[in-house]
Amino acid sequence: MTSPFRALQRITATRSPAAPVGERCEMCAEPIGDEHQHVVNVEGRQLMCTCRGCYLLFIDQRAELRYRAVPDRYLSFPDFTISQGEWDALEIPVGLAFFFHNSTLGRTVAFYPGPAGATESELPLAEWQVILDRHPELTVLAADVEALLIRIPERGTGAAVCLLLPIDACYEFVGRMRLLWRGFDGGQDVHDYLDEFFTAVSARARPGGVP
């Protein structure tokens, strides 16, 4: 005679594995695809994966909301300039960083990539304001959800590049660099990825103008 336990063993042994549960909206638990949109938890500085419906609830950047939708805007600033001295004054130890306005802190913060991921830099606000005063077109940046990604070439090798990107694209960019990082300066894979990323994003961006 077969016991209920033996029967259950037989059933579970022959049953096909359950299909993996796909990603879900972190607000309403609705299933979402691999390509989806994000909102920022302003107070917690966290990205949240969302469905289209939840995303649309937070697209008004002027509203006082706990969450803000991350827009899909890419801008380039061909006339942007920054000297090596000005960059050094920002006290960022590498030639690459992204900047965004943190509305909770009421100031601009900077992050630069490294083997541990994104590292926050204590940005001298007066030095950053000098750059904004010379380039008022950069003030189109939306607080919390967009960032200015600036790349400074090695001394004497070319002009600096400044791009406005969605904040989730910046974090994805830094996360990818972390996975590729080898040795002291990141290694050849990181340098190749940097060139590929800036080429692709620059091609996607449209020229930004004075607001």
Tens of pLDDT, residues 7-32: 334 433 444 343 345 689 999 999 99
How far is residue 87's CA from residue 123's CA, in Å, rounded to a whole number? 11
How far is residue 52's CA from residue 8's CA, in Å, rounded to a whole number? 42
Q: What tokens were used for 197?
A: 């990323």
How far is residue 137's CA from residue 129's CA, in Å, rounded to a whole number? 13
Q: What tokens were used for 107?
A: 């100031």
Tens of pLDDT, residues 125-181: 889 999 999 999 999 999 999 999 999 987 655 689 999 999 999 989 988 988 988
pLDDT at 22: 64
Residue 87, pLDDT above cutoff 80 = yes
Percentage of residues in the chain having pLDDT higher than 70: 86
Tens of pLDDT, residues 163-178: 999 999 998 998 898 8
How far is residue 137's CA from residue 177's CA, in Å, rounded to a whole number? 28
* Mean pLDDT (whole number) for 104-114: 89
23 with 31: CB under 8 angstroms?
yes
How far is residue 22's CA from residue 31's CA, in Å, rounded to a whole number? 7
How far is residue 133's CA from residue 115's CA, in Å, rounded to a whole number? 33
pLDDT at 209: 66
201 with 164: CB under 8 angstroms?
no
Q: Look over the chain and give the mean of its residue pLDDT values, rounded to a whole number.
A: 84
Q: At 38, is the pLDDT very low, low, confident or very high (cuts 50, 70, 90)?
A: very high
Backbone angles phi, psi at 192, to 5 degrees: -65, -45
pTM given for the model: 0.82
